Amino acid sequence: MRPADFGWLMSGVVLNSFAQLGLKMATQSTGVIEGTPRGMWIAGHQLATSVAFWLALTAYSLSVAVWVVGLSRLPVSQAYPVLSLGYIIAALLAWAMLGESINVTRWAGIGLIIVGVFFVSRS
């Protein structure tokens, strides 16, 4: 995998991770969202006024655009595993920005993901 191709894919992954963080931050204003039509309606109104929600949707849109560029350059079987790096980035961002904890088991899983993506990228 060429560095430029990896860069396009990683741009999409990073933007997607920031979108996840933004959505989580946006739900801090809603609290737990009930899965009922009424609960979804109320949460939707609250989220519509959340800057974090709109920034997250923008990050998602941009992530799709740059991901498509990356996919145009590589086989899906090589590109798709790179998405797994989003688990790592999202976990680290959540730890740093939201104070979420990452226990030993999660660190082990993150390590396995890194090793797996390394092997796929070398093929």
The pLDDT value recorded for residue 95 is: 92
Cα(54)–Cα(24) distance, rounded to whole angstroms? 12
Taking the whole predicted model, whether its pTM rises above 0.85 is answered as no
**Which residues neighbour 43 within 8 Å (Cβ) at sequence distance 6 or greater?**
27, 30, 33, 34
Q: Cβ(56)–Cβ(50) under 8 Å?
A: no
At 31, the amino acid letter reads: G
Using alpha carbons, select from 69, 83, 70 the residue that is nearest to residue 17: 83
| pLDDT < 70 positions in the chain | none
The pLDDT value recorded for residue 10 is: 94
Query: Beta-strand (E) ranges in the chain?
Result: none
Cα(24)–Cα(47) distance, rounded to whole angstroms? 11
